[in-house]
């Protein structure tokens, strides 16, 4: 028998994921947030993440952080924010299982910046995720676009502070989310209700 290469990933059973955007979805978008202490969660997020876990979803955050390449903050700042985000979630009994972020500016036209799908593909490999039974919640068109490309159920939670821009982004009508919800919590409840 061939010995298994020592670097082969452990076989995980297939799972479904609740993918989520970060800024404007889990927390108010403070625009190039650098200081973890300023992070706040939207009301209901803590309970919703725990509810997704109880329903057997892994919770994976995929976020564009072009502020890194723009020199506005560092990877360490972003990782502190993610650590803080999980500290804020923990009293609800569940955390984000993994964070994947794109550090590039849009001009680079990388494959990892949403609506690019590279980070989702990485997560799929790392967690053995079944996209067909997974969902993505986000506040912008680029979130819906990424989810749509991958065959995920797409849920839009429009940021009330940029309602006009969001409406304009979808005005062409060529791309629509599977569902629109007023809050992350209600988006998650509706995703879970679909079974």
Instruction: Write phi, then psi, for 86 (nearest 5 degrees).
Output: -70, -30
Cβ distance 62 to 119 under 8 Å?
Answer: yes
Does residue number 67 form part of the binding site for Mg ion (CB under 5 A)?
Answer: no
Does residue number 145 form part of the binding site for Mg ion (CB under 5 A)?
Answer: no
Task: Kindly tell me which residue out of 18, 20, 23, 141 binds Mg ion, with binding defined by CB under 5 A.
Answer: 23
Is cis: bond before 124, omega within 30 of 0?
Answer: no
Tokens of 129: 């995720």
Instruction: Match 């940029």 to its residue by tokens.
Output: 162
Which residues form the interface with Zn ion (CB under 5 A)?
Answer: 102, 104, 110, 112-113
Least distance in Å: CB of 138 to Zn ion?
16
Least distance in Å: CB of 86 to Zn ion?
23
126 catalytic residue (yes or no): no
Q: How many CB atoms lie within 10 A of CB 54?
A: 11
Q: In the complex with Mg ion, which residue's Cβ is closer, 43 or 54? A: 43
Q: In the complex with Mg ion, which residue's Cβ is closer, 28 or 92? A: 28
Q: Could you give the dihedral angle defined by the CA atoms of residues 140, 141, 147 and 151, in that order, rounded to the nearest 10 degrees?
A: 150
Among Zn ion, Mg ion, none, partner that 112 touches (CB below 5 to 8 angstroms by kind): Zn ion
21 catalytic residue (yes or no): yes
- In eight-state DSSP terms, residue 15 is B
Give Cβ neighbours of residue 107 (< 8 Å, ≥ 6 apart): none
Among Zn ion, Mg ion, none, partner that 104 touches (CB below 5 to 8 angstroms by kind): Zn ion
Least distance in Å: CB of 104 to Zn ion?
3
Q: Which secondary structure element, helix H or strand E, spans residue 136, and what is its range? A: strand 135-138
Least distance in Å: CB of 195 to Mg ion?
27
Candidates 7, 23, 159, 174; catalytic one: 23
Candidates 21, 77, 97, 159; catalytic one: 21
Q: Give me the active site residues, please.
A: 21, 23
Q: Which residues bind Mg ion (CB under 5 A)?
A: 21, 23-24, 139
């Amino acid at each position: 028998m061939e010995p298994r290469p020592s670097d082969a990933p452990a076989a995980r059973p297939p799972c479904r994921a609740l993918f989520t955007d970060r800024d404007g979805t889990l927390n108010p978008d403070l625009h190039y947030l650098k200081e973890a202490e300023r992070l706040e969660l939207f009301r209901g997020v803590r309970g919703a993440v725990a509810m997704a876990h109880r329903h057997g979803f892994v919770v994976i955050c995929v976020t564009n952080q072009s502020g890194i390449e723009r020199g506005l903050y560092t990877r360490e700042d972003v990782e502190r924010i993610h650590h803080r985000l999980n500290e804020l979630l923990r009293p609800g009994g569940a955390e984000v299982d993994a964070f994947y972020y794109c550090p590039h500016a849009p001009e680079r036209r990388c494959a990892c910046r949403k609506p690019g799908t590279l980070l989702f593909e990485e997560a799929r490999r790392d967690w053995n995720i079944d996209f067909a039974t997974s969902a993505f919640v986000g506040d912008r068109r680029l979130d819906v676009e990424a989810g749509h490309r991958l065959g995920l159920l797409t849920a839009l939670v429009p940021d009330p502070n940029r309602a006009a821009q969001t409406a304009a982004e979808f005005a062409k009508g060529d791309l629509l989310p599977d569902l629109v919800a007023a809050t992350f919590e209600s988006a998650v409840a509706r995703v879970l209700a679909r079974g």
